[in-house]
A and B are shown apart, each in its own frame.
Chain A
Amino acid sequence: MKERYIPIAGTIFVFIALFLTGGALYKHFLSTLVLGDLLADNAFIIIAAIGTTFVIISGGIDLSIGSMIGFVGVVMAGLVGHGWHPLAAAAAMIAFGVLYGGIVGWIIDICDIQPFIITLAGLFLLRGSCFMVSLDSVPIKHSFVDAFSAWRIPLPGSGFLTSSAIVMLLALLAGVVIAHFTRFGTNVYALGGDRTSAALMGVPIRRTTVMIYALGGFYSALGGVIYALYTASGYPLAGSGVELDAIAAVVLGGTLLTGGVGLVVGTLFGGLISGLIATIIDFDGTLTSAWARVVVGLLLFLFILAQRTLIGTRNALRQSIG
């Protein structure tokens, strides 16, 4: 097997093992119903995490996506309340996400500021803006929203593929194509692998950085739209902590936090792993949701440790040569 597929194989293995464990422990677990719900419930996180995957592969980090999801939700609710069609509102919000991300990327590049601190400021800004728009949960009432949540494709067995899951899978497909079959995607990997070399090899650093964060903004805004449609409401606290879930999904998906290495499709499985842990805890009934965070944290630790050892041996090798 090729080196680049080892991490993703590990991720898929963990996912299958967890799924089978659930099946062994609880009745009715091994079903398309559970699988369909898993995809539907985690769709918005995974969508947002796809954008984070690009950011992390480029060697950056984005901490503002949770706030973006909340912001998109409340503004969408407001716009629909003012008579906008939900789709128009969604398009406006996605355009906003792209613009916002682009500006963030531009600031990161021209000012040479660490991404984590600038996106931290973004976290404040967007969450504060949520509260400025609305303090309470605002329902989104529109026939389209009802149709969106009602529409689903039946799966063999008793499960369904909901519309949000379908959007997520399409977004994933787009992400895979961008990452692996466009020059921009290749540039993202080059930037994360070695910024100086990439610049010497002719990668346009500023344009690529702006595009990376714009893409991140696109995906987090899309995640916000899906979350708003899924819950049929805009809530100013929505998406709190989702940035961490997204980063966890990316890391569990086998992407190196040091940048340069990772697969977009891994993020799907990474997101599903955390979702699966929550589902198992749900099925158990005796465990609390506290377990989910702890187990995700533990898995995160193990994955980072595994990455560390992989890189460690490679560096040791290089050092003994150089």
Chain B
Amino acid sequence: MEDAVPRIAMVGVSKSFPGVRALESVDFCLRAGEVHALLGENGAGKSTLIKIMTGALRQDAGEIRIDGRPATLDSPAAARTHGISTVYQEVNLVPTLSVTKNLTLERQPRRFGLISWRDAAKRARERLARLSVDIDVERPLGAYSVAIQQLVAIARALEEDTRVLVLDEPTASLDAREVELLFQILRDLKRQNIAILFITHFIDQVYRIADRISVLRNGRLVRTAAAVELHRLELISLMLGRELEAVDSAPPPAAAPAAGEPLLAAEGLGRRRYMGVFDLVIRAGEVVGLAGLLGSGRTETAKLVFGAVRSDTGRVRFKGRPITARSPRRSVRLGIGFCPENRKAEGIISELSVRENIVLAMQTKRGWLRRLPVDEQNRLASEMINVLAIATSDAEKPVGQLSGGNQQKVILARWLASKPRLLILDEPTRGIDVGAHAEIVALIRRLCKEGMALLVASSELEEIVAVSHRVAVLRDRCHVGEIAGAGVTRENIVRMIAGG
């Protein structure tokens, strides 16, 4: 089987979006009867690759061959006629409909012109039986656990003629037992000679199920190898790599502040099915890094510390005093800021001007009655535009019209303007060009020198190593250890992530 023509081969495939090069001449092949794991951080190009393979997007350059013959996948329907079925990360079914209806939506069996639900239910049960799932198909899909919903989605995707199955992070919300069930099904499908592309960020699962592994980084396919040949440490290193000299050549951070009173201390913080219990201490003038793979709990930790997601155990002390009734509002008042990872959904308010976006956090701190005078707002906005080199024609431009990197800077400006004691940055340099990247790293160091405490979550190890005094390492939604001082090196972090 090794030498057989691959079921799907992508040759020199490239794809660009305005301002972003999502895929750069990627050569990738998927063989019949294999489980092929595709790994990479957010923005590495995984979803673009899947979308091209399933006909949702068309490549700018390059060729796709199916069973050795060039094929045009210009629509999802075209991909389906080639036997390519996809199950997306978010269960793309209708939770309010019954399982039967979800499984038979576009072709229900009829009798005398009307739908026969008895036949439909029978057909639904048959499709589920292929995956050895036996549930009451009359209940609404939403009544079942995410695992079952995921299986229903797979059952829906699996047609009689399915030859390629693409699974986008199918295990993201499953527990260990459910994952095992899914893997049994995958092994079974593999025996039916179906090619399976499995996108995930759980390294353990990759080694349990995958035959081959491909790693994408910044739109390039950096390695494809058999799972047995690719060492775990090497794999993590490949995923978290970065080729930015601007950061690597920067001097190491200033000496860590003396172990003083913690500014913020999280004790036993956690939330069921969201993030394992952890302790975290941050001192004034200190940068604490959060390192780990995608899905390891970086964002989750940041959100729990800030209070954006309510914890169900543990407590947080700020300057020695416990914070009661934690919420973003309470945190902002205490002097904690949070730049979210998803700036479009959680950061910018795109209709409002750059100025209004910048003064927002400071204004909430002052309360609604003590409005910042317009002169002061203008001064603050132009100062921030200068300091962070935000590219905008003027401060009154709606922030939605700015480029992604500049939007990120506006959010950063929002928090800097509010003069926080502690600033939490989740992926502060995602989607930012090289120059701005170095600026932000420099800014983090300067802020820290001025006595601000920072908690920085990032998928880029070099960035973490460059700025952090101390690094909390995460794996599978648990804190697995801490590294401080001279021990903060790329190798140590990778080893800890790998579980060495």
Asked whether the complex places CB atoms of A and B closer than 8 A, the reply is yes
Interface residues of A (CB under 8 A from B): 2-4, 177, 180-183, 186-187, 189-190, 192-194, 196-198, 200-203, 260-261, 314, 318, 320-322
> DSSP majority for the B interface?
loop
* CB <8 Å contact, B94 and A320: no
Within 8 Å CB of A182, what residues of B?
114-115
Please indicate the chain A residues that have their CB under 8 angstroms from the CB of B499 in the complex. Answer: none
Instruction: Choose one: A194, A318, A321; the contact of B94 (CB below 8 Å).
Output: A194
Closest B residue by C-beta to A262: B96
A321 x B139 contact (CB < 8 A)? no
Alpha-carbon distance A318/B101, docked complex (angstroms): 21
**Chain B 87-119 per-residue mask, 1 if CB under 8 angstroms from chain A, else 0:** 000001111111001100110100000110100
Q: Which residues of A contact B274 (CB under 8 A)?
A: 320
Contact B105 A260 (CB under 8 A): no
Interface string of B74-98 (1 = CB under 8 A from A): 0000000000000000001111111
Please determine whether B273 and A3 come into contact, CB atoms closer than 8 angstroms: no
8 residue pairs, one from A and one from B, having the closest CB atoms: A193-B96, A260-B96, A193-B94, A181-B114, A202-B106, A194-B94, A197-B92, A190-B94
CB pair A3 B143 closer than 8 Å: yes
27 interchain pairs, CB-CB under 8 A: A3-B143, A4-B98, A177-B114, A180-B115, A182-B114, A182-B115, A186-B97, A186-B101, A187-B105, A189-B97, A189-B101, A190-B94, A193-B94, A193-B97, A194-B93, A194-B96, A196-B92, A197-B93, A201-B94, A201-B102, A202-B105, A202-B106, A203-B105, A260-B94, A314-B142, A318-B142, A321-B273
Q: A197-B94, A321-B173 are in contact. Are A186 and B115 (CB under 8 A)?
A: yes
Which secondary structure characterizes the binding site on chain A? helix
* A3 to B97 Cα, complex, angstroms: 11
B126-159 residues with Cβ-Cβ distance < 8 A to A are 138-140, 142-143, 145-146
- In the complex formed, the residue of A with least CB distance to B312 is A320
Whole-angstrom CA separation of A198 from B271 in the bound complex: 32
Q: Of B97, B108, B140, which one neighbours A183 at CB under 8 angstroms?
A: B108
Chain A residues whose CB sits within 8 angstroms of the CB of B142 once the complex forms: 314, 318
Provide the bound-state CA to CA distance between A203 and B140, in Å. Answer: 18
Does chain A have a CB within 8 A of B370?
no
| A201 and B105 within 8 A (CB) | yes
Within the assembled complex, what's the spacing in Å between the Cα atoms of A114 and B101? 27
Q: How many residue pairs bridge A and B at CB < 8 Å?
A: 76
**B272 interface hit (Cβ, 8 Å):** yes
Q: Determine how close the nearest CB of chain A comes to the CB of B154; give it in whole angstroms.
A: 14
Roughly how many angstroms separate A181 CA and B117 CA in the complex, as a whole number?
Answer: 8
Q: Mark B291-330, 1 if CB is under 8 A from A, else 0.
A: 0000000000000000000000000000000000000000
- Selected from B92, B97, B272, the residue in CB contact (under 8 A) with A320 is B272
* Residues of chain A contacted by B108 (CB below 8 angstroms): 183, 186
Complex Cα–Cα for A201 and B104 (A): 10
User: Taking A190-B94, A194-B95 as contacts, is the C-beta distance between A322 and B146 under 8 angstroms?
Assistant: yes
CB pair A189 B96 closer than 8 Å: yes
Chain A residue, CB-CB nearest to B112: A181
A189-B101, A320-B273, A320-B274 known; A2 vs B139 contact (CB < 8 Å):
yes
Residue of A nearest to B114 (CB): A181
Contacts A3-B140, A193-B97 given; 5 further ones with Cβ under 8 A? Answer: A189-B97, A193-B94, A201-B106, A320-B271, A321-B173
Which residues of B are found within 8 Å of A193, using beta-carbon distances?
A: 94-97
Name the B residues within 8 Å of A203 (CB-CB).
105-106
Chain A residues contacting B146 (CB-CB under 8 Å) are 318, 321-322
**Quick check: B92 and A201 within 8 Å, CB to CB?**
yes
Query: Contacts of B271 on A, CB cut-off 8 Å?
Result: 320
Contact yes or no, A183 B115, CB < 8 A: yes
